[in-house]
Amino acid sequence: MSDSTVAIRKLKGGMVGMGMIFDETYRPFFENAYQEGIYDPRTGVIKLEIAAVASRTGGRAARYKDAAGNQINDFASYIEPDSIGQLLNHDVDFVCVATPDDRHYEATMAAIDAGKHVIIEKPSVLSMQQLDSVIAAARNKQVLCKVVYHKLFDPDHKKLRTFVADNILQHINTGYCTLLEPKQISGSQFAEWIQGRNPGTYVAVHYIKLIDFTFGGKLKSISCSGQRGIVGEADGHTWDSTQLRLVYGYESGREAAFDIHTSWVTPDNFPGYVEQEVQFRFDNGIWNGHSRKRGVECTVEEKTPLSIKNSMNNHYNGTFMEPDGRRTQRGYGIEVLEEFAREVAYVEHGTDDRSRDERIDQLSAGFYNDIASDRQTVAAVQAMEAILDQHVSGHPDCVVRVNESGGGLVLYIPGQAEGIVLYKHQV
């Protein structure tokens, strides 16, 4: 090949779930990639298409196809029953799983079983048992299986991690984080699957991951309280808000505690799309971050704070007019998906001397977004859900201890000496 020849390779993606997150991040990712391709020095230019989608009813997929016009290629749309099985018969290189979180496992296992690379929305799966099966299946089939945590790509969080890695901020002591979603999420957007669910699994998991990834350490215990009565019954199994506490231990022999407060019942006329704030305290410093108040406050008569919010996160995912006049949609929520596409492209079309298996190994165990990197995050989610379930059955204030001699996750009910083993292997 001469220097002036550019090799153009192709990738085809499949999408499972066409809901809110599809519209926010996957849609612009697929549209940008379709129109402009993606580039990686290890592969050259990659042309990328969305080949097929799967959803419950196909309604949103049809509306999207109509609205998008020539912004996107034509694609097949499959609906239940067995929408995923039908999608997997299609010629796709990778599958994006963005169904409600308690339906990730089945879709992921089916995609891996069909030999496809997979990227799963957070939280990857809801138990360590499921996680073990997914890891084993991905290794067995030699495919990439990755999890999306876009907060790791937020420039503010990258700076925090850089300060920690460079020992500028020394030894984490404590932290608190909050992420509050509007009522429209629990009241209408998620009405189909909200029964029995909680906002902790849905959004605290962003901060569980950020804490786990940024500060390292070993998870030692999990506790959680919560409130009910707005989304569901006051004594029911659907939660309005949760307060999760994680305790971590570090090589120094010292501990840190983190509190993560979440809800999905914030008034819809709140001035931002969501509220997101963190504070982390160190031996020698303090980090205060606010993802919503990064400097912009905008008021528009008859629009703010409902159709446009007063404060906006233009870093996550924004629609812009570029200086040259082009209309774009960009941000770290989309960047994280482009990175995954580059990884798949490298595995399938890399131009270096490595074999496909070597490339898979390089991007799997030990790599930041590999499914196996999610162990402590999934452990925290499994423990939190078990604690909330116990609360519903009349046992509030339980605690789950991690990696005891009796098991990897052991739940203790107040007043009962014997623990319940949720997961027997080490986390």
Give the one residue of 86, 129, 189, 329 binding ligand NAD; rule: CB under 6 A.
Answer: 189
Q: How far is the CB of 20 from ligand NAD (least distance, A)?
A: 4
Cα 106 from Cα 108, distance rounded (Å): 5
Over the window 149 to 178, marking each residue x when it contacts ligand NAD by CB under 6 A and - when it does not, the resulting string is -x----------------------------
User: Which single residue brings its beta carbon nearest to ligand NAD?
Assistant: 19
User: Where does 127-191 show beta strands of DSSP type E?
Assistant: 145-148, 172-182
**Residue 98 or 112 with smaller CB distance to ligand NAD:** 98
* Count of positions (residues) in the chain: 427
Site for ligand NAD in 130-149 (CB under 6 A): 148
Rounded to 5 degrees, what are φ and ψ at 272? -120, 170
Q: How far is the CB of 374 from ligand NAD (least distance, A)?
A: 13
Give the one residue of 40, 93, 121, 154 binding ligand NAD; rule: CB under 6 A.
Answer: 121
**Residue 189 or 304 with smaller CB distance to ligand NAD:** 189
Would you count residue 7 as binding ligand NAD (CB under 6 A)?
Answer: no
Cα–chain-centroid distance for residue 24? 13
Total number of residues that touch ligand NAD (CB under 6 A): 26
Cα 337 from Cα 119, distance rounded (Å): 9
At residue 300, the 3 state secondary structure works out as coil
Over the window 17 to 36, marking each residue x when it contacts ligand NAD by CB under 6 A and - when it does not, the resulting string is xxxxxx--------------
The candidate with the shortest Cα–Cα distance to 226, out of 72, 9, 402, 398, is 398
Asked if 335 and 29 touch (Cβ cutoff 8 Å), the reply is no
Give the one residue of 100, 187, 196, 318 binding ligand NAD; rule: CB under 6 A.
Answer: 100
Q: Which stretch binds ligand NAD (CB under 6 A): 15-23, 153-161, 214-222, 408-416?
A: 15-23
**Residue 190 or 423 with smaller CB distance to ligand NAD:** 190
Q: Which strand (E) or helix (H) includes residue 220? A: strand 218-227
Q: How far is the CB of 80 from ligand NAD (least distance, A)?
A: 6
Would you count residue 315 as binding ligand NAD (CB under 6 A)?
Answer: no
Would you count residue 16 as binding ligand NAD (CB under 6 A)?
Answer: yes
Site for ligand NAD in 31-90 (CB under 6 A): 54-56, 60, 80, 83-84
Q: Which stretch binds ligand NAD (CB under 6 A): 92-100, 259-267, 370-378, 412-420?
A: 92-100
**Residue 53 or 409 with smaller CB distance to ligand NAD:** 53
At residue 324, the 3 state secondary structure works out as coil
Peptide bond into 305 cis (omega under 30): yes
**Residue 20 or 136 with smaller CB distance to ligand NAD:** 20
**Residue 60 or 157 with smaller CB distance to ligand NAD:** 60
Peptide bond into 199 cis (omega under 30): no
Cα–chain-centroid distance for residue 222? 20
Give the one residue of 12, 103, 171, 245 binding ligand NAD; rule: CB under 6 A.
Answer: 103
Q: How far is the CB of 22 from ligand NAD (least distance, A)?
A: 6
Give the one residue of 94, 190, 239, 282 binding ligand NAD; rule: CB under 6 A.
Answer: 190
Would you count residue 215 as binding ligand NAD (CB under 6 A)?
Answer: no
**Identity (one letter) of the amino acid at 358?**
E
User: Where does 283-427 show beta strands of DSSP type E?
Assistant: 286-290, 318-321, 327-330, 399-404, 407-412, 420-423
**Residue 22 or 213 with smaller CB distance to ligand NAD:** 22
The candidate with the shortest Cα–Cα distance to 265, out of 228, 234, 291, is 228
CA distances from 388 to 122, 223, 225, 235 (A): 19, 9, 7, 12
Q: How far is the CB of 54 from ligand NAD (least distance, A)?
A: 5
CA distances from 19 to 99, 118, 192, 251, 353 (A): 8, 18, 11, 42, 40
Would you count residue 242 as binding ligand NAD (CB under 6 A)?
Answer: no
Give the one residue of 101, 212, 370, 374 binding ligand NAD; rule: CB under 6 A.
Answer: 101
Q: How far is the CB of 48 from ligand NAD (least distance, A)?
A: 20
Give 345's contacts (C-beta < 8 A, 6+ positions apart).
9, 11, 38, 40, 42, 43, 46
Token pair for 57? 């009813």
At residue 318, the 3 state secondary structure works out as strand
At residue 116, the 3 state secondary structure works out as coil
Q: 399-404 and 407-412 as β-strands: parallel, antiparallel, unpaired? A: antiparallel
Residues in contact with ligand NAD by the rule CB under 6 A:
16-22, 54-56, 60, 80, 83-84, 98-101, 103, 121-122, 148, 150, 189-190, 202
